[in-house]
Amino acid sequence: MADEKRRRPRTCIGCLSESPKKTLIRIVRSPDGIVTIDRTGKKPGRGAYLCLDMECIEKARKKNSLARALRCTVDNSIYDELIAIVEGEQGR
């Protein structure tokens, strides 16, 4: 466990709640500054969490929460990718 994980609870940056009932997905900025969606939750780097929920993703997109949480610019395609994941989960 990284130190950061112990210090910070896994709070969704969209709805700002810990949402134990919803699945949280981790977005990580790697040490070389690449932002990716971390479905394993094990990639190194600064992480942020979002509910696997369309509303939370759109909220985060509007407020640019991901960029603020990760302290770097986040490409819009990351949000599109998250939405595609949510749609994939719902489509089962």
Binding mask 41-80 for Zn ion (x = CB under 5 A): ----------x----x------------------------
14 binds Zn ion (CB under 5 A): yes
Q: How many CB atoms lie within 10 A of CB 81?
A: 14
> 22 with 52: CB under 8 angstroms?
yes
Q: Which is nearer to Zn ion, 18 or 33 (CB)?
A: 18
The DSSP call for residue 12 is B
CA angle, corner 76, sides to 12 and 72, nearest 5? 70
15 binds Zn ion (CB under 5 A): yes
> What residues make contact with Zn ion under the rule CB under 5 A?
12, 14-15, 51, 56
